[in-house]
Amino acid sequence: MKKVFLIQLISYWCFLGCTTSKEKMIPYDSISVVLAKNEKLSDKEFEGWQYKDIFEDTVPGISLEKAYREFLKDKKGDSIIVAVIDTEIDIAHEDLKEQIWVNTNEIAENGIDDDHNGYIDDINGWNFIGNVNGENIIHSNYEFIRLIRKFKVLFHNKTVDRITSNQIKDFETYQKALKLLGETKKSKLQQLENVKGFINKYNKAQQILKAHLAVDSITKEQLLALHSTDTIIKKHQKTLISYINRGFTENTLLGYLEQTQESIDKSLDFDYQEREIIGDDPNDINDIHYGNNNVSGNLDKLYHGTLMAGIIAAKRGNKLGNEGILNEVKIMPLCISANGDEFDKDIALAIRYAVDNGAKIINMSSGKQFSMNRQWVNDAIKYAAKKDVLFITSAGNSGLNLDDKEHNYYPNDINTDGSEISDNFMMIGASSYTLNKRLIYYKTNHGKNNVDLFAPGYKVYTTLPNNKYRYSRGTSAATPIVSGIAALIRSHYPDLSASQVKEILMKSGISYNIDVEIILDDDTKKMVPFSSLSKSGKVVNAYNALLLAEKMSKTK
């Protein structure tokens, strides 16, 4: 039986069809009733669910298909540069190669900084975690490891009564870092055991089903066509289908195992000094001459950036893989992320590079719970605001309430007094395709004062290195959806400022008048209004955003 939910669409304007060819815009603020899609989405539906419309398809997507069909048909926008601050990106991918930014002011491989921007041969962007010999950081320490290493000499085995008053703040940070170290170690060890369990189940299912089917390899089609009454066969059939649907193969599972083990061995190792590979001083923001121009290496281990780029910019209409948000876009790869936490210096310099080289939107689908040099990043965000560049980042996937003073997440735009440092910053939470208590992705961070907006972030189909594709999830996947819509607005309405685009995205979303389930710090569950989890209380909507952009542009 289908459930009926009240859905409140709160946007300042909407299109209504008219009997004449003239389109009319009128204020819209009402409550509608819609039948929620109750059955599970098919594999094909999952490949583009995030673009569906809640009223037409009863799926809480961003109404992108409707926007192209009813509003953007026969319209051509300007090309927009979107900087993707992330891992390296597969710039030769079949669905991305036409969408990559090219620095036309630089001559390739001549060893000269032709455009005098401080970076030699930066044809497609810059890699801040590589060196001149082509080596790259693959694993980096977590920021809490760096903090503990820094403060250990001052605070090891000390209690608060032995700390001077001017050291209290640092001591409290040190204690929080120690707590997170313990939690992370426990989590990683459990993750390691889980992956080993997945591999054992996968191998056993493969062995039994290959023997049953008398084949050397098994396809999904063979599994779906298998009709057995044997409970053991049915059990392993279900296991393999589940693994295939989640993109698991023997190689990917072994890759997860290796990655998890290396995370324990390196990211949590106090003696591991990854910055020795680069040779710079990570605590000197003026030491900027480092990195290399290889933005597309190490893709077997660092593929996250390719996932994000595909959500924004995978070529539309070419019948390959997935559809991005728009075609009128160029992705600027700026590599700062390894397996671990980013350095604030790299974040700040990447933001400044993006701004100085023409990006109008910056997408950063990563973050961390501590920031050793936060002011550098804040200054870079304010620099982007001054230059009219919109900065969009993810809220994180720890299920935390970021309004709680115990749960910080960086970068953010909140001053110590609660005010915002700029009007060009957005933090994005993740929603799902289900219109019930699981409307939010269960791991998404949230916060009425810290998270701005939600966007689809569960099973988002996108590009993977080497001309492959897979699903992505979490606030990482939600963030480029908002960045893509922002690019769409700036493409068609270049007169609108970064702060106006932010205002449009916040005001034009859809507010679902339902309660959703969140997990509290003590692992208990609680039902809360969806509207209480972000500043806007909404899920981003491309169609409504374009309508409001049209109105705002005409009234300038």
Is residue 86 flagged as an active site residue?
A: yes
Backbone angles phi, psi at 242, to 5 degrees: -60, -45
Average pLDDT over residues 159-185: 94
pLDDT digits (tens, 9 = 90+) for 244-298: 887 788 888 999 999 999 999 999 999 999 999 999 999 999 999 999 999 999 9
* Per-residue tokens: 270: 């106090």
* Per-residue tokens: 35: 């039948």
In the structure, what pLDDT confidence band is assigned to residue 419 with cuts at 50, 70 and 90?
A: confident
Determine whether 446 is exposed, middle or buried from the number of CB atoms within 10 Å of its CB (0-12, 13-18, 19+): buried
Cβ(503)–Cβ(490) below 8 Å? no
Catalytic residue among 53, 63, 86, 139: 86
Lowest mean pLDDT among 419-423, 440-444, 503-507: 419-423
pTM, 2 dp: 0.91
pLDDT at position 39 is 59
pLDDT at position 3 is 42
pLDDT digits (tens, 9 = 90+) for 53-90: 999 999 999 999 999 999 999 999 999 999 999 999 99
In the structure, what pLDDT confidence band is assigned to residue 29 with cuts at 50, 70 and 90?
A: very low
Mean pLDDT of the chain, nearest integer: 91
Question: What are the domain boundaries of the chain?
Answer: 4-141+272-554, 143-267
pLDDT at position 467 is 97
Between 544 and 415, where is the model more confident? 544
Of 183, 46, 173, the closest CA to residue 477 belongs to 46
Cβ(457)–Cβ(473) below 8 Å? yes
Distance in angstroms (rounded) separating the CA atoms of residues 89 and 99 = 12
Q: How far is CA 315 from CA 296, 330, 431, in A?
A: 18, 11, 24
Distance in angstroms (rounded) separating the CA atoms of residues 188 and 461 = 27
Locus of tokens 């001459």: 289
Average pLDDT over residues 21-35: 38
Q: List helix spans (H) across 246-289.
A: 250-262
* Beta pairing class for 510-512 and 4-16: antiparallel
pLDDT at 21 over 50: no
Between 3 and 360, where is the model more confident? 360
Is residue 452 flagged as an active site residue?
A: no
In the structure, what pLDDT confidence band is assigned to residue 415 with cuts at 50, 70 and 90?
A: confident
pLDDT at position 383 is 98
Distance in angstroms (rounded) separating the CA atoms of residues 531 and 508 = 14
Between 299 and 11, where is the model more confident? 299
Domain 4-141+272-554 has CATH 3.40.50.200: yes
Between 422 and 25, where is the model more confident? 422
Is residue 304 flagged as an active site residue?
A: yes
What percentage of the chain has pLDDT greater than the value 70?
Answer: 93
Q: How far is CA 556 from CA 23, 79, 452, in A?
A: 20, 22, 25
* Per-residue tokens: 85: 């601050």
In the structure, what pLDDT confidence band is assigned to residue 396 with cuts at 50, 70 and 90?
A: very high
pLDDT at 46 over 80: no
Catalytic residue among 304, 407, 446, 492: 304
pLDDT at position 546 is 97
pLDDT at 28 over 80: no
Cβ(174)–Cβ(158) below 8 Å? no
In the structure, what pLDDT confidence band is assigned to residue 37 with cuts at 50, 70 and 90?
A: low
* Per-residue tokens: 551: 């109105």
Q: How many CB atoms lie within 10 A of CB 275?
A: 18
Catalytic residue among 472, 476, 531, 536: 476
